[in-house]
Structure 1
Amino acid sequence: MKVIKEKHPLAMRWTHWVNFPILTIMIWSGMLIYWANDEYKIKLFGHTYFMFFPEWFYKTFNIPHRLAEGMAFHFLFMWAFAINGLVYILYTIISGEWRELVPQKKSFKEAWLVLLHDLHIRKMAPPQNKYNAAQRIAYTAIIVMGIGSLITGLAIYKPVQFYYLTWICGGYHFARILHFALTIGYVFFFLIHIVQVVLAGWNNFRSVISGFEVVNEPDPQPVIETPTPTDEKPIQ
């Protein structure tokens, strides 16, 4: 028997879908800024062996000479990213949803079993509630990454005014490395997330939009009434 059950509250869905275009614009505008000082590469004895973004990449996506535009978009949508993240965190704390998100002691062990199941190496999936162990770790990590991006971003944007943040991040240059690494992490998370959504199927994707999912439950067993004995004697 198919039953419709609520899975994702409106606030969770809203912050999830709002964050997608915001983060996309943040990464795009960040590339416009990064172009002006493209220094991260693998270089040895004066020879460059690998560049994260070669010249053809910048030209293909029309990135060069758009530094001012990139800074304007990046710092504007930074506020939207921060506010949306704050709403999400506050909601999970107030509503108690954090209990379903925060990893447990057994989550790291079970996450390996989830991976083996996704790779079709292990047939039986480990037990889960609303989220499995791998999702708990990933969704908590993305929150930590978001906080890290804000701290490192402010440390780069205003290294004098926010000198304490710059100091916590290990200096301006290391803060920039961390900010860049976190951005690459978002891209990998997004790609893996899309693959997982496709593997999970339409029912799971629909629940993130509507908030409800269709689950199969066993049909209720019919109740058979048995006659109760009485104290009356039969008529002779």
Structure 2
Amino acid sequence: MKRIIHKHPLAIRWFHWINFPILFVMIWSGLLIYWAYHPYKIQVGDTVLFEFFPNSFFLALKLRRRLAEGMAWHFVFMWIFTINGLLYVLYTFFSGEWRLLLPNRHSFREAWQVLLHDLYIRKTAPPQLKYNGAQRIAYTAILLMGFGSLLTGLAIYKPTQFSWVTWLTGGYQTARVWHFALTIGYVLFFVIHILQVIRAGWNNFQAMVTGFEVEKEPAEKAPTEPTVSA
């Protein structure tokens, strides 16, 4: 026997799937902008240990000399990203979904247990409702990251008009560093998220498309007749 478990409302699925291509375009266009001035690297003294996106990276993907194109795409999709995020926050607030998404006092302990289970150190996963502790923390963090990207993006985009935002984010250069760091955070989140989706299987992915999961119910055992001993 199979039973249908309703999991994700239509609005949540729309916000999720709309946000994915938006963030992709934002990251791609951000790279076109970053090409014009890409100083960030990990360095000890005069020794460069790691350089983020060296010239060979931009040459391989043909991203050089496309600054104006990158800015045009970035600033248009910035508003779509903001509107989609604002509608998502309003929906989760008024629908009550925030109760299932925000971390609680058990979330960090559960997240550690989830990590141990994913690394095959712990045999059983901790019990959960709609989202486990790790998901609550991750989804809340990505929401805060989106707000941080908006603030630092405005500080970089209009440092004079939004001078108070630029000051709030530590100045133009600091805002740019934070904006870059948040972008790296999105990429890491995408990689981990996709790996987790693959690990969870088709049923979990289907729930974000159709809104429900199909679960197999355990087969009922036939009653056995009592034996009579002679």
Whether the TM-score (by the shorter chain) exceeds 0.5 is yes
Name the structure 2 match of 1:231.
none
1:194 maps to 2:191: no
Alignment gaps of 5+ in structure 2: 223-230
1:84-233 equivalence runs, <5 A: 84-217=84-217
Secondary structure of the residue aligned to 2:207 is helix
Give 1:86 deviation, angstroms: 0.8
Cα gap change, 1:49/1:117 in structure 2, threshold over 3 Å: closer, same or farther?
Answer: closer
Name the structure 1 match of 2:226.
none
Give 1:41 deviation, angstroms: 1.7
TM-score, length of structure 2 as denominator length: 0.93
Question: Pairwise CA RMSD of aligned residues?
Answer: 1.6
Alignment gaps of 5+ in structure 1: 223-236
Give 1:191 deviation, angstroms: 0.1
Secondary structure of the residue aligned to 1:50 is strand
Q: Counterparts of 1:62 and 1:129 in 2: how far apart (Å)?
A: 46
Q: Counterparts of 2:102 and 2:42 in 1: how far apart (Å)?
A: 37
Percent of residue pairs identical: 64
Cα gap change, 1:221/1:96 in structure 2, threshold over 3 Å: closer, same or farther?
Answer: farther
Aligned length: 222
Give 1:217 deviation, angstroms: 3.8
- Return the letter of the residue paired with 1:168: L
Q: Counterparts of 1:113 and 1:14 in 2: how far apart (Å)?
A: 30
Secondary structure of the residue aligned to 2:64 is coil
Name the structure 2 match of 1:20.
20
Cα gap change, 1:44/1:118 in structure 2, threshold over 3 Å: closer, same or farther?
Answer: closer
Name the structure 1 match of 2:227.
none
Q: Deviations over 1:14-43 (max 9, x none)?
A: 010010110000000000000101111234
Secondary structure of the residue aligned to 1:215 is strand
1:65-80 equivalence runs, <5 A: 65-80=65-80
Give 1:215 deviation, angstroms: 2.1
TM-score, length of structure 1 as denominator length: 0.90
